[in-house]
Amino acid sequence: LIRENSPNSEVGGKWEAFQALRGVAVANTQSPNRMSKTTALLDGAEVQPEEATHPDDGTSEEEKTTLQRHIEFWDPKGTGVIWPRDVYAGFRRLGFSRAFSTAITPIISGGLSFNTQTSKIPDPRLPVYVERIHLGIHTSDTGSYDAKGHFDSKRFDEVFAQYDIGNKGGLTQEEVKALTRGQREPKDPKGWTGSWIEWNISFHLAARESPDGKLLLYKEDLLGIMDGTLFPKISKEVAEGTWVRHGHLSPGLRRP
């Protein structure tokens, strides 16, 4: 036993404090509210339990923006970083050819990498950081994502209705072209190019035949592209062979 007047009394005091803290911790695990914030005093210092965090990046699914969810398909392991090899693999899973996937990878990685990284020195490996993807939003777009990457449904509906001639519920390829031209800002070739690439990829990825035989990019499919929910569905059907692409860039993944 350690006496109060012994040279080791300080150690004994710490041991008693530790035992008291341990008893509180055990009691908490037996309490219905296991996440209650318990404070204890150890050597005069207030100790707070650590907050629970997401196992990957501290961001819960509910806290992620629509734009972050849009690109998660290309980050299947949830690392928070999308490398060029991930971009290539993602397009291949969506049924695009090797040639197209190889060509589009440096365009996308190169266009987004520097804007999303924290360093002022460009990383030649071209990583794209999911958490900062909103910094990759370009001009001459529809404005369907706000500056933080959240989805603006009102703006999306307005733009879609403007170019959906006849209220078909989908856009033809000509209407997609008209949309990209109509959203152009003056003297913005980079923004024009980015918008043209995104919309053409979307059309060639998800356009479906309407009852009258026209290829349409339907509104519900476009919404699935915007929030990323369509990509896993297409990838699954491509893997199963239930969606077939006709040519390298032909409008399709059309159901046979």
If we measure between CA atoms, which residue out of 137, 132, 134 comes closest to residue 117?
A: 132
Residue 138, pLDDT > 80, answer yes
| Number of Cα atoms under 13 Å in the Cβ half of residue 71 | 25
pLDDT tens for 179-236 read 999 999 999 999 999 999 999 999 989 998 888 888 899 999 999 999 999 999 999 9
Residue 108 has pLDDT above 50, yes or no: yes
Q: Which residue has the higher pLDDT, 14 or 175?
A: 175
3-state secondary structure of 187: coil
Longest dimension (CA), the chain: 96
The pLDDT-based confidence of 53 (bands split at 50, 70, 90) is very low
> Which residue's structure tokens are 């693999």?
89
Query: What integer is the mean pLDDT of 247-256?
Result: 41
Q: Which of 26-40, 48-62, 70-84 has the highest mean pLDDT?
A: 70-84
Domain locations in the chain as residue ranges:
9-47, 61-240
Q: What is the pLDDT of residue 131?
A: 97
Give the position of tokens 């777009």.
141
Task: Name the nearest CA neighbour of 74 among 119, 17, 44, 112.
Answer: 112
What's the pLDDT band for 64 if we cut at 50, 70, 90? very high
Given this model, what pLDDT does residue 185 score? 92
Return d(Cα 178, Cα 163) in angstroms, integer. 7
CA distance 200 to 66: 20
Q: Where do the DSSP E strands lie in 85-237?
A: 128-129, 170-171, 208-209, 215-218
Q: Is residue 162 pLDDT above 60, yes or no?
A: yes
Q: Tokens in use for 189?
A: 């070739």
Structure tokens at 164: 């959906």
| CA distances to 68, 96, 172, 229 from 236, in Å | 21, 14, 25, 12
Portion of the chain with pLDDT greater than 70, in percent? 71
Pairing type for strands 170-171 and 215-218 reads antiparallel
In this prediction, residue 63 has a pLDDT band, given cuts at 50, 70 and 90, of confident
**How many angstroms separate the CA atoms of 162 and 180, rounded?**
12
d(C-alpha 178, C-alpha 225), whole Å = 19
